[in-house]
Amino acid sequence: MNRHPQQRIAVAGAGLLGRLLAWQLLRDGHAVTLYDAGDLATPPAAAWTAAGMVAPLAETVVGERCIYAMGRVALERWPQWLDKLQAPGLWHPHGSLVVAHPQDENELTQFRRDLDDAIGQPAGYRALDAAGIHALEPGLAGFRHGLYLADEAHLDNRGLLNRLLEAILELGGECHAHTPVTPHPGEIATPSGRRTFDLVLDCRGHGAKPSHPTLRGVRGETLHVHTDEVKLSRAVRLMHPRYQLYVVPKPGGHFVIGATSIESEDRSPISLQSSLELSSALYTLSPAFAEARILEQGVNLRPAFRDNLPHVTRGDGLIGANGLFRHGYLLAPAVVDHVLAEIRGEGERPFAAVLSAAAPQESLP
């Protein structure tokens, strides 16, 4: 039985945070209205472009230590949520593999040192030789050394977003596609007028920039390919002196190769250079990828604050959650737990020091 008074709640943005929060709030018995500027079946969200890796170890190497602690929450929460969504097959907890070609093995050594520094001992990886790599991923060719990060996972993120939308509709959520909105305390401004609510959640990702001038978009490009010639069971990261790329297996012989990280808010199509780097990285993982068919080229903006950490802002009648940057699937569970605790008035908010802190205001140099 719901212990909380039912509220009329509007959620602006049906990307990752918007869908997760709408679903959870409907489960809590609230009346939820969800708006997105784009289509709901193939949303313009970064969450749709993303690879869906849940990588607390590898992401802590490039981020703050608190990412690791929040990421550990994700490893626990995703299987629970997917169970409730009756979609456990979307979760792939088989670890991830980090490899480098023989000429780039210094990069692997450095990554291992960085991992030790970032996490401390034991850092939760296992060093592999060629036989160990082959045992895990027989589809890879020519690697002598690698690292197996057992405590990492990936999600079928598009399957998740679709399932969340179904669940929201099943629970009676009201959904509006192609409706760009402006959230205000207790009110949503739509192209056709204003509507009042008890509470408004701003989950617009990079679309919230007009409300948060210090929010920036970090361009990320991906390729989606299909082949039946190569099988992978887990995400594979390729260390390289100029870029670090990954390949994430998706259902039906699909793979996502990503991702560039460019300090630009340009949403124009993928550049020739990025396309070449992504496809050649894939080809060097295994020549069997040569005949893969390129299905899609993805471009989107990761929403980031100056400190590259997520922040939750709370005012009367308006809560904003944003800044998930490159760690959306990794950090969303901790952020969603925090926002729900705010709404439910629960005391336990383990990441309040990070999430409730004001986002840094200074602009980029």
Ligand X SMILES: Cc1cc2nc3c(=O)[nH]c(=O)nc-3n(C[C@H](O)[C@H](O)[C@H](O)COP(=O)(O)OP(=O)(O)OC[C@H]3O[C@@H](n4cnc5c(N)ncnc54)[C@H](O)[C@@H]3O)c2cc1C
Q: Which residues bind ligand X (CB under 6 A)?
A: 12-18, 35-38, 43-47, 49-53, 180-181, 203-205, 207, 220, 222, 258-259, 298, 300, 302-303, 322, 324-330
Whole-angstrom distance, CA of residue 88 vs CA of residue 85: 8
Minimum distance between the CB of residue 324 and ligand X, rounded to whole angstroms?
A: 3
Q: Kindly tell me which of 130 and 357 has the beta carbon lying closer to ligand X.
A: 357
Cβ closest to ligand X, residue 81 vs residue 325: 325
Residue 145 CB, shortest distance to ligand X, in Å, is 24
In the bound state with ligand X, the residue whose beta carbon lies nearer, of 145 and 325, is 325
Closer CB to ligand X, 163 or 327, in the complex: 327
Residue whose C-beta lies closest to ligand X: 15
Supply the minimum distance, in Å, between the C-beta of residue 199 and ligand X: 16
Residue closer to ligand X by CB (options 145, 320) is 320
Query: Tokens at residue 268, please?
Result: 């124009």
CB of 135 to ligand X, least distance (A): 25
| Smallest separation, CB 44 to ligand X (Å) | 4
Instruction: Compare residues 32 and 324 and give the one whose CB is closer to ligand X.
Output: 324
For the CB of residue 87, give the shortest distance to ligand X in the complex, in Å: 18
